Structure 1
Amino acid sequence: MHGSDLMLSYQSWIIVTIEGWTGALIRSLSQGNWLTLKQNILLTGATGSGKTFLACALGHNACRQGYKVYYYRLKALMEQCYQGHADGRYSKLLTRLNNSDLLLLDDWGLEPLSSEQRSDLLEIVDLMYQRGSIIVVSQLPVENWYKMIGDSTHADAILDRLVHGSIKIELKGESMRKIQSPLTEGDQ
């Protein structure tokens, strides 16, 4: 995880009010049973709703509990896969991910996946399946992920491993950035 992400914690998350979600749910997630059960978490919602903040808080909490955690924006992970195929480091990337307990995939679905990216993503999701957990962070509702992935065979395989038995959380409400920023003359 990035250093700035490590500064986020459950204590700071709990004081943030997110429409439709209680501190009790967040505290329940902080106990980490979902990690023991190898469950995935699918966080969806509009821009600024706190998805990445919550995902990083969950990741930070997992680190504090002794779990090995990696954070990637999906595009950056796909770029590392591409480079890894070119320079022979792809297997090292897979080994690193295989040794993790939790993989955070942020900005899921910002753009469609290429054929190579679909194959790499399937390999990574399959690698984590039933031996670790994945948190997916997306502006897209889960029902739109199939189209984003593209090819039906890959989409079926990826989503079957990610979605079934997962914890689905949709964050609602105004942008946290908007709420936290001071009003300017143009905003009034």
Structure 2
Amino acid sequence: MLIGVTGTGKSFLAQALGVSACRQQFPSRSLRLADLADDFDALAHHPMARKEFMAELVRPPLLILDDFLATTISDHALMQVFNLLAARENSSTVIASQHQPEYWYSVFADSAVADAVLSRLANNGLLLRLKGEDMRTREELTGHGKVNSTIPRHLRVR
């Protein structure tokens, strides 16, 4: 689990792990949790298609779930995320989130499900808490000097 505020490099590090896995011939898959939740919701009334989709997600040796719980997702999708993590218990899964694991209890409708998710991740994994300033606005990395990070990048004057 990679936990940290915006811009601390969670997604960058997660993608670097994915690239490294691929270079070592271990297929990986990377998804934003919001997109995955939308897919689960679209398949809610199609159990066979949902089962096939779940099998596709369980298959790769590495799965990256980025922006974990960054947006509100349905209870159905949350339950499918739990099922996915349970099915991948013996596989590598990277989760990148701005939210501390304690926050997850307020998201999952059932605290037992939150416990099960956290147990699977914490007991079989590693938690890295990333700290620092927003890398997207650091002058030495952008070459553009400090900019107001509240303005979307595509609207900024260069």
TM-score band (shorter)?
A: 0.7 to 0.9
Q: 1:83 to 1:183 in 2, by over 3 A?
A: same
* 2:23 is equivalent to residue 91 of structure 1: no
C-alpha deviation, 1:147, in angstroms: 1.8
**SS state of the match for residue 104, structure 1?**
strand
Q: Alpha-carbon deviations, 1:49-108, whole Å to 9, x = none?
A: 110000000011011111121101001011111112345521221111121111100001
**How many angstroms apart in 1 are the aligned matches of 2:147 and 2:65?**
37
Letter in 1 for 2:69: G
- Answer whether contact 2:11 2:66 (CA < 8 A) is retained: yes
**How many angstroms apart in 2 are the aligned matches of 1:61 and 1:127?**
23
Among 115, 118, 121, which residue is 1:159 paired with? 118
**How many angstroms apart in 2 are the aligned matches of 1:168 and 1:71?**
19
- Answer whether contact 1:146 1:159 (CA < 8 A) is retained: no
TM-score norm. by structure 2 comes to 0.83
C-alpha deviation, 1:172, in angstroms: 0.8
**How many angstroms apart in 1 are the aligned matches of 2:81 and 2:63?**
12
**How many angstroms apart in 1 are the aligned matches of 2:49 and 2:129?**
36
**How many angstroms apart in 2 are the aligned matches of 1:184 and 1:175?**
10
Q: 5+ unaligned residues in a row in structure 2: which ranges?
A: 150-158
Q: 1:133 to 1:185 in 2, by over 3 A?
A: closer
Aligned residues: 145
**How many angstroms apart in 2 are the aligned matches of 1:186 and 1:44?**
23
Letter in 1 for 2:89: Y
- Structure-2 residue corresponding to 1:103: 63
Q: Percent identity?
A: 32
Q: 5+ unaligned residues in a row in structure 1: which ranges?
A: 1-41
- Structure-1 residue corresponding to 2:80: 120
Runs of 4+ aligned structure 1 residues displaced above 3 Å come to 184-187
- Answer whether contact 2:101 2:118 (CA < 8 A) is retained: no
Q: 1:143 to 1:86 in 2, by over 3 A?
A: same
What are the residue-to-residue correspondences of 1:59-70 with 2, within 5 Å? 59-70=18-29
Letter in 1 for 2:23: R
- Answer whether contact 1:74 1:105 (CA < 8 A) is retained: yes
- Structure-1 residue corresponding to 2:128: 169
Q: Alpha-carbon deviations, 1:89-140, whole Å to 9, x = none?
A: 212211111211111000012134432122111110111011x111000011
- Answer whether contact 2:2 2:96 (CA < 8 A) is retained: yes
**How many angstroms apart in 1 are the aligned matches of 2:20 and 2:87?**
23
TM-score norm. by structure 1 comes to 0.71
C-alpha root-mean-square deviation of aligned residues, in Å?
Answer: 2.0
- Answer whether contact 1:73 1:105 (CA < 8 A) is retained: yes
**How many angstroms apart in 2 are the aligned matches of 1:186 and 1:112?**
26
